[in-house]
Amino acid sequence: MATQAEADAMRRAIALAARALGSTSPNPVVGCVLLDARGRTAGEGWHRRAGGPHAEVAALRDAADAGHDVRGGTAVVTLEPCNHTGRTGPCAQALLAAGVARVVYAVADPNPTATGGAATLAAAGVDTEGGLLADEAAAGNAAWLTSVLRDRPFVLWKYAATLDGRSAAADGTSRWITSAASRADVHRLRAEADAVVVGSGTLRADDPHLAVRGLDGVTQPLRVVVDTHATIKPGARVLDDAAPTLIAVGEDADTRHLPGTDTVRLPYGEQGLDVHALLAELHGRGVRSVLLEGGPSLAGSFVAAGAVDRIVGYLAPALLGAGPTALGDAGITTVAQTLRLAVTDVARLGPDLRITATPTASAPEEN
């Protein structure tokens, strides 16, 4: 049974892991807090980026640098310590070598190449316990867990709208529906994602840049434009060198006006390019989290494909009465088909409301 000190340490470890969102793919985000034999914090660390030290090793180094002894102590980790050698050594062995007597972890590692750390530790006489604050830790690692369990990236759809659901006015203008506080929060979402995806309609209407601004030290996400007929112009802002860019086009698109641009040809689905083919392409490129920024037609395609895992809506206290809605055709034609959502968070950002929700029952994905 976990102690209060271990629960507090796990909450700290979850917060540490979140510091690396957007920087560790294709690896998970992981945090670790080491307690000495008397239950006092001796060291802490988190996995900062793929190829770098894992959280347990970073915490052990932190404890050593501070002169703290962890022999007979406890390692509190958000993910089961790994049991394999990749670009770094197995964390289970590192904890054994350090003399840790107990390991408490939140989520069991579902990756077949890395799992088994808890069994290795237990076989060596280390007291192990899993499941502490598992839901909270899993929520923070949703992108990586989705990639392992569903073999595709985690998709967060973000939109901004008025209270009557309009994402732009009747004349197409949309800057700015929401406040500066909401727009700054979107840059946080971009910084936490591996890729930001928009459609050609948004590209033509807004000429978005899609790179992260206002935050230091972030890994810029891959900018992805779903442009079925390759209508993008060479001077589009998304083609600058602020971040990498991928243009997804149809199999028959003419891309001769885009020399040197990274493009991928995808098959057609029921509503434009095949969403699952796009996600498979991104997954193969190491993308584990996608921020879908629109517009409404592309969002509708993702919802219809059952490929939206979380929704963040920024609602401005304003009315337009006409204009495009935030969500286009999602294949829902009757109330019986309504995609119900579970609201997980509501927050005020300046004058706006930010609502976070997850589908309670997704449409079945294509095989």
Contact 286, 264 (CB under 8 A): no
HSE toward the beta carbon, residue 295, CA cutoff 13 A: 20
- DSSP assignment of 4-38: HHHHHHHHHHHHHHHTTTTTSTTSPP-EEEEE-TT
Question: What fold, for 152-359?
Answer: Dihydrofolate Reductase, subunit A (3.40.430)
Cα(133)–Cα(321) distance, integer angstroms: 45
CATH of 4-146, one of 3.40.140.10, 2.30.36.70, 3.40.50.1000, 2.70.50.60: 3.40.140.10
CA angle 100, 103, 104 (to 5 degrees): 150
Q: What is the pLDDT of residues 9-25, one digit of tens each?
A: 999 999 999 999 989 99
Domain spans, the chain: 4-146, 152-359
The question of whether 366 is a catalytic residue gets the answer no
Give dist(CA 242, CA 222) in Å, integer: 10
SS3 of 242-259: the string is: CCCEEEEEECCCCCCCCC
Q: Along the 367 residues of the chain, how does pLDDT read in single tens digits? A: 889 999 999 999 999 999 999 899 999 999 999 999 999 999 999 999 988 999 999 999 999 999 999 999 999 999 999 987 766 778 999 999 999 999 999 999 998 777 789 999 999 999 999 999 999 999 999 999 999 999 999 999 999 999 999 999 998 888 889 999 999 999 999 999 999 999 998 888 888 999 999 888 888 999 999 999 999 998 899 999 999 999 999 999 999 999 889 999 999 988 889 999 999 999 999 999 999 997 899 999 999 999 999 999 999 999 999 999 999 999 999 999 999 999 999 999 999 999 999 999 644 444 4
Assess whether the previous peptide bond of 295 is cis (omega < 30° from 0): yes
Q: Which is the catalytic residue, given 6, 44, 56, 293?
A: 56
Dist. CA 191–CA 187, nearest whole Å = 6
Q: What strands lie across the sheet with 310-316, from one edge to the other?
A: 263-266, 245-250, 222-226, 195-199, 289-294, 154-162, 310-316, 352-359, 341-349
pTM above 0.95, yes or no: no
